[in-house]
Amino acid sequence: MSEANDTKHFDLISIGSGSAGRKVAVVLKRAGWNTALVEARVEDHFGGTCINTGCIPTKALVEAAHNGYSFSEAKEHEKKIVERIRKGTLRHVTERVGVTVIRGFASFVDDHTIEVNGERYSADYFVIATGSEPAIPPIKGINQVHYSTNEDILKLEKPPKRLLIIGGGRIGLEFGQMLHKFGSQVTIFEGMQQILPGEDTEMANALKDYLVSLGINIYTGRFVDEVKEITKENGTREFEVHLYEGENAGVYKGDMLLVSTGRKPRISQLRVENAGVEIEKGAIKVNEFFQTSRPHIFAIGDVVGNPMFTNWAAFQAGVLIKNLKKSKTKSDDWKPLVSPSIPRITFTVPELASVGLTEEEAREKYGDQVVVYKFYNKWLGKSMIVNDWVGFLKGIGIKGSNEIIGAHLWGMRTASIIQMLVLARDNGLGWKELGEMIYGHPVLAEGIEALGNNMARLTQSD
Ligand SMILES: Cc1cc2nc3c(=O)[nH]c(=O)nc-3n(C[C@H](O)[C@H](O)[C@H](O)COP(=O)(O)OP(=O)(O)OC[C@H]3O[C@@H](n4cnc5c(N)ncnc54)[C@H](O)[C@@H]3O)c2cc1C
């Protein structure tokens, strides 16, 4: 493994080894640049949030729960996967590609120098890719209680008896359903009127009804007013969530309190002010080339704000790499970010995968031109075969147009199936083409054939 060498000067230093920073350091190293990667937590977090405490471990647990593993079997399964990917990634970056890994927490000294563990490193270019951290809302009492975050949940040795979750977004729902499957009594509080705020309301409500039908308590429409923690005589903690008013007003008790109310860019202690890098609304301010207010310092991934997805972080890295490979300073060759379709996935079982506008957004934009069609999974042979009875696929289009304005797929393996719609949307294809191609049979993707044909018929674009 190549560690920080004596040179201490690099062409480029990425700060953060997640999907964003790592990709830039690796690809440019392969292109002949002398690159380094700084990671604060090499032993337990190399490769960033997705590999270690985000996408991979949560999905490993969700899948294991669904497949009937016990909690300890699931944990073992998850640990093995995470370790394998983390170690493989570290080996790949250092041994195979030869990127210098600097271990420790970086902070800027000036716009060409950072400090890590008392050592200074300079570079012609920097990439800030320090990711995000849980955003904790200012609920009364929150700072006096031992609340948990996604990282704490992953360290659990056994599921809590009663789990209270503040936040009905992706992270809360995924952990909630998974721990419910392992036997926890789960209660989720979402302040907005619907779970998955920002997603299609009909889809979110259908998913909520389904989760409630499984036995998960979900209360929407009131932000938690107060939380309390009581230490019992036997030393164990009991948590209380208070809703002062509304139809669900009351005091809810649990043995663990998960706060999953979103994430915010991880910037504090990075001392970006020493480099003259500006922050806007809590995120590093960048232009369409991911340049910060200092043109040789870039920022990509969660640290530049929403949406926070690993695929989006890596996509941004790709835009930056292509430009830097063309010319080291901004030139006419550089291509700005052109926003592609970003699939948004909630890994409940079944999954909810969306791309494009929600029905509410479409109606706001196109009024009564909007066309909606729903295809119920239970109508499909393969769905019956794999026991996919509950979900449905929703297409959103506009009259007289073949364009896929929005698609919301709730059902088994829709997280993979959505890619067809992403490909179509970004390449000038529409409902008609989705309906016209030949599908394997019996496969779950046949739902898209039906969605495509019916949307083409209803929008009269066929
Ligand atoms: C529970 C959970 C589940 C998720 N599930 C999904 C999912 O299913 N699909 C999906 O697309 N996205 C998912 N995400 C989001 C995804 O993990 C992030 O969008 C992605 O990891 C962002 O990549 P990044 O490179 O910007 O930052 P990160 O992956 O967070 O990497 C940043 C790295 O920088 C290091 N670091 C921070 N500050 C410093 C410093 N000053 N010096 C040195 N190192 C530093 C950190 O230790 C970290 O390793 C999930 C997130 C969470 C929390």
Residue 460 one-letter amino acid: Q
At residue 406, the 3 state secondary structure works out as: strand
Q: Judge if the beta carbon of residue 310 lies within 6 A of ligand 1.
A: yes
| Total Cβ atoms within 10 A of residue 118 | 6
CA 49, 54, 59, 65 torsion: positive or negative? positive
Alpha-carbon gap, residue 185 to 127, rounded angstroms:
43
155 exposure class (CB count in 10 Å sphere: 0-12, 13-18, 19+): exposed
Q: Which residues contact 336 (CB under 8 A, 6 or more apart)?
A: 287, 288, 289, 319
Mutate to test the pocket of ligand 1, among 14, 49, 148 (most ligand atoms within 8 A of CB): 49
- Mean model confidence pLDDT for the chain: 96
Question: For ligand 1, is residue 17 a contact (CB within 6 Å)?
Answer: yes
Residue with CA at minimum distance from ligand 1 atom 37 = 130
Return the structure tokens found at 259: 């706060």
Spatial separation of the C-alpha atoms in residues 437 and 429, rounded to whole Å:
12
Closest ligand 1 atom to the C-alpha of 300? Answer: 26
How high is the pLDDT of residue 461? 63
- pLDDT (tens digit, 9 = 90+) per residue, 212-254? 999 999 999 999 999 999 998 888 999 999 999 999 999 999 9
User: What distance in angstroms lies between residue 402's CA and the mean position of ligand 1's atoms?
Assistant: 37
Strand 217-220 relative to strand 185-190, pairing: parallel
Question: Alpha-carbon distance 133 to 267, whole Å?
Answer: 9
- CA–CA distance, 156 with 197 (Å, rounded to integer): 28
* Cα(174)–Cα(54) distance, integer angstroms: 11
Helix (H) or strand (E) holding 27, with range, is helix 19-30
Any idea of the CA torsion for 372, 377, 379, 381, to the nearest 10 degrees?
140
Instruction: Give the position, in ligand 1's atom list, of the atom nearest the Cα of 16.
Output: 34
Note the pLDDT tens digit of each residue in 266-302: 999 999 999 999 999 999 999 999 999 999 999 999 9
Reading the block at residue 405, the tokens are: 């304005």
As beta bridge partners, residue 38 has 15, 102
Catalytic-residue membership of 296: no
Residue 290: φ, ψ to 5°: 65, 20
Indicate if ligand 1 lies below 6 Å from the C-beta of 264. Answer: no
Structural contact between residues 38 and 116, judged by C-beta atoms closer than 8 angstroms: yes
Q: How far apart are the first and last CA of the chain?
A: 58
Place of tokens 């902070």: 107
Match 């604060």 to its residue by tokens.
Answer: 40
Q: Which residue has the tokens 């699931």?
A: 74
Tokens 């599908």 found at: 439
| Average pLDDT, consecutive stretches of 10 residues, N- to C-terminus, the chain (462 residues) | 60 98 98 98 97 97 96 97 97 96 98 97 98 97 97 95 98 98 98 98 98 98 97 92 97 98 96 98 97 97 97 97 93 91 97 98 98 97 90 97 98 96 97 97 96 96 57
Domains and CATH numbers, the chain: 8-134+264-326 (3.50.50.60), 142-261 (3.50.50.60), 350-460 (3.30.390.30)
Residue 335's SS3 state is coil
Please give the distance, rounded to the nearest whole angstrom, from the Cα atom of residue 313 to the centre of ligand 1: 9
Nearest-CA residue for atom 7 of ligand 1: 55
Structure tokens at 372: 């909606």
- Contacts of 437-445 with CB under 8 Å at 24 or more apart are 441/381, 442/380, 442/381, 442/382, 442/385, 443/382, 444/377, 444/380, 444/382, 444/383, 444/386, 444/388, 444/411, 444/412, 444/413, 444/414, 444/417, 445/417, 445/420
The CA–CA distances, whole Å, from 119 to 9, 85, 313 equal: 12, 29, 28
Return the pLDDT at 6: 53
Q: Distance from CA of residue 87 to its chain's centroid?
A: 22
Nearest CA to ligand 1 atom 1: 54
> 270 in ligand 1 pocket by Cβ < 6 Å?
yes
CB 250 within 8 A of CB 226: no
